[in-house]
Chain A
Amino acid sequence: MTEPEIPIKTVGLSAGYKGNPVISNVDLKVERNDFVGIIGPNGGGKTTLLKAILGFIQPMEGKVKVFGRSPEKTRSRIGYVPQYATFDEDYPITVKEVVQMGRRKEKKFFERYSRQDLKKTKEVLADVEMNDYKDEPISELSGGQKQRIFIARALVSSPELLLLDEPTASVDRRMEKGIYSLLKELNEDMAIVVVTHDIGVLSSYITKVACLSGELYSSDEPCLEKDMLEDAYQCPVELITHAGEEIPHRVLGEHPEGGSDK
């Protein structure tokens, strides 16, 4: 490989379902130790983009490279945390078993889980502060706890790139902060991409931000730009955040007084 392995690089990527592109012409570059937040309205193609990066759907146009190769070949180096709502709540399975699943890709066909796998499983459960729950059935956990388990499952295979789809949907604010500070720590060892429609929580943790609404509007700065958001949401946007503060504060510049730009 001539060029260094970039975790994610897409060039002119269009993808979608049944011949209709949901995202088009997306250029995205994620480098080692990036913490990228991709925000956008519902239906903007956030999950579609993740699926293209994972190689679950083929690009209609353009290219996706993960660590310099096609996603199918490098998928094992990606940790993926899907939206938890897609899981079967009633499945008879314990926390430990779910996390251990993450070790499967390291194993050969007839190779059983080893003591090493169990040790690693315990380590990541401790990292996400869920060790006390390891023998609980997954159905007994709260939304935030489930989310931690699915993050642990992605981490147990020591991924070099972590993709998270709406990691804090259906999680309360306090838990949400806990999850993001965990991600911040993990970011020292791996690139992280978070997609969410919840703009408020992202700004204090990310190194790069992009808006996805069919097309990608990106910025290399860890702050949201008003134009970007307005392009993505197709309406004037004013951004106020409550994250970690008692008083709402702005992350964008003030609107010009008197609406002179209208």
Chain B
Amino acid sequence: MIQELTELISYPFVQRMLIAGFLASVVGGVIGTYVVVNRVVVMSGGIAHIAFGGIGLAYLLQDKLNWGWMDPMIGAVIFALASGAIFSSDFLRSRVRQDSSVGVLWVIGMATGILFLNLVDKTSTTVQEPTSILFGNILLIEKFDLYVFAGLTLGILLIVFIFFRDFKILTFDEEFAKISGLSTGGLNLLLFSLIALTVVILIKVVGVILVIAMLTIPPAISSLFSNKLSTTMVLAVIVGLVGSFLGIFSSLLFDTPPGPMIVLWLGGMFLPAFAFGRKFG
């Protein structure tokens, strides 16, 4: 077993998977903590599914307009950021029930994604299988992707570091943030943009449908054992790392897709945490 593992680690594609899992755990744990304490899990799921529409559109533009540079991830980033901006704005919040607007945009994202992918001429343009977009394929990650992820992760962590105090006030008590003279509209937009970028990184690793797992399960576990936002984040990153490494190795050993394995390990950790966690145990 040990020998098998050390042999696996020597393969470059395994190294790439591990680095991707590492980055996803770090950014997922930190931003996921905001998602969990701010109760925007469902909105984050919405962002992921809307991003699917962006991926479909990017392929369609590659095909019909010959925009070879239009990487699917660019489409995902644009759609994710746009939906993040919509969800963070007061305008929509004051007119439509929030979960309804999430539901509407969620399915529109999925429908456009499938439709656009269907319209692409597969003989001239290579398209990722919809299942691998939906459930992720960490095996397909290339070196270039890792550089982009690393840059994004560093940028996200830097912004969290700078705005840590203000995000805490905002997510704990938005009204008080306003009284304190903080620009709550701007901070909400910034936070949702970070969530959107995180979602795009996670789509590459675990896929559209399983993004919620990486964002939600580690902080949901760590918040059972912590009284502080910063500790919750650090523990969530550790839980995410354990889950994704176990998931990656077990998928290699048993020749199963890694995304679902990661999610199942995380889910498996949630049960005992729920039983022994200080708060609700």
Residues of A within 8 A of B (CB): 54, 56, 75-76, 78, 80, 82, 86-88, 90-94, 97-98, 101-102, 104-105, 110, 113, 136-137, 139, 153
Contacts and interface: CB of A to CB of B under 8 A. Distances in A.
Contacts of A93: 168, 172, 227-229
State the main secondary structure of chain B at its contact with A: helix
A137 B228 CA distance: 8
Interface in B156-212: 162, 165-166, 168-169, 171-173, 175-176, 178-182
B93 interface: no
A92 B33 CA distance: 10
Given A88-B172, A101-B169, A94 B228 contact: yes
Given A87-B173, A92-B223, A92-B228, A97 B178 contact: no
B226 interface: yes
Interface of B: 37, 39, 162, 165-166, 168-169, 171-173, 175-176, 178-182, 223, 226-229, 231-232, 279
Contacts of A54: 179
8 contacts: A80-B175, A92-B223, A92-B226, A92-B227, A92-B228, A92-B229, A104-B166, A104-B169
A148 B118 CA distance: 60
Contacts of B232: 92
A134 to B, nearest CB: 12
Greatest chain B CB density within 10 A among A75, A78, A97, A98 is at A97
Nearest to A92: B232
A251 B165 CA distance: 48
A99 to B, nearest CB: 12
B168 A139 contact: no
A75 B178 CA distance: 9
A121 B48 CA distance: 41
Contact of A101 (B39, B178, B180, B279): B180
A196 to B, nearest CB: 19
B172 A91 contact: yes
Contacts of A78: 179
B279 A56 contact: no
A92 B169 contact: no
Contact of A76 (B171, B181, B223, B231): B181
Nearest to A111: B165
